[in-house]
Amino acid sequence: MPIPDYGAAPLAKTFMLVRGLSLLAMICIVGLTANFTSEIISTNVDPPKEVIGTLTVTSLATLYTLLTIPLFLAQANLSLLIMTLLDTLLLLAFTTVSILLGQPISFLNCSLIANTSASTTATSASAFAQSLASNLGKSGSTLGLQDWAGRTKVNCYEVKGVWGLCVALCVLFACSGVLLPVLWLKARRAGVTGGKGAA
């Protein structure tokens, strides 16, 4: 099925590229945060609110993105304005998620986690184990995101990866939020009409 041009073929193709990259980034985020959440829950501790918030927002955004691709391909012109509004809201949501994730982990240096001395590692592991032991089995007990991310190098890189993908999604939703009204305007000027949703 060819991509409708909406009176501006390069912009329409750019939008589809942005949507594809957004979908790829969101699938990666869902996978990483679901794995991270599973690991945390296996210790009978509630996952940090930042991780749950990221997983929730990303899952809803993935569903929305999957639903908007057929609308775009069906050339429903009025839906471009609705998608503009929803993309702007998702931009705000991912900006908030990026800030919430970035605050506790922005100063973590993942490369130094395994390179510390044995005594520092033992002290850190002991403090983490005591904190974990005091929270185990208690309903509603939580540990901070920085505690989990700083535990191992893999956790650190996973959380930093999720943070980076959230920042990338901010850029991608900003791009689509600019492209959609331009496409709507170009389609209107070119006299392109769609189906039931045409303006």
Residue 49 neighbours by CB distance under 10 Å: 12
Only one residue has tokens 């993935």, namely 62
Q: Would 44 be classed as within a structural domain?
A: yes
Model pTM?
0.78
Q: Would 118 be classed as within a structural domain?
A: no
**Nearest Cα residue to 188 out of 68, 80, 85:** 80
Q: Would 154 be classed as within a structural domain?
A: yes
Q: Would 176 be classed as within a structural domain?
A: yes
Instruction: Report residue 80 as tokens.
Output: 């471009």
Q: Would 125 be classed as within a structural domain?
A: no
φ and ψ at residue 142, rounded to 5 degrees: -135, 160
**Nearest Cα residue to 186 out of 5, 16, 64, 45:** 5
Total domains present in the chain: 1
Burial of 124 (0-12, 13-18, 19+ CB in 10 A): middle
Q: Would 2 be classed as within a structural domain?
A: no
Q: Would 124 be classed as within a structural domain?
A: no
Residues paired with residue 142 on neighbouring β-strands, in sequence order: 46
Q: Which domain holds residue 74?
A: 9-110+144-188
Sites in the chain below the pLDDT cut of 50: 116-126, 129, 132, 139-141, 195-199
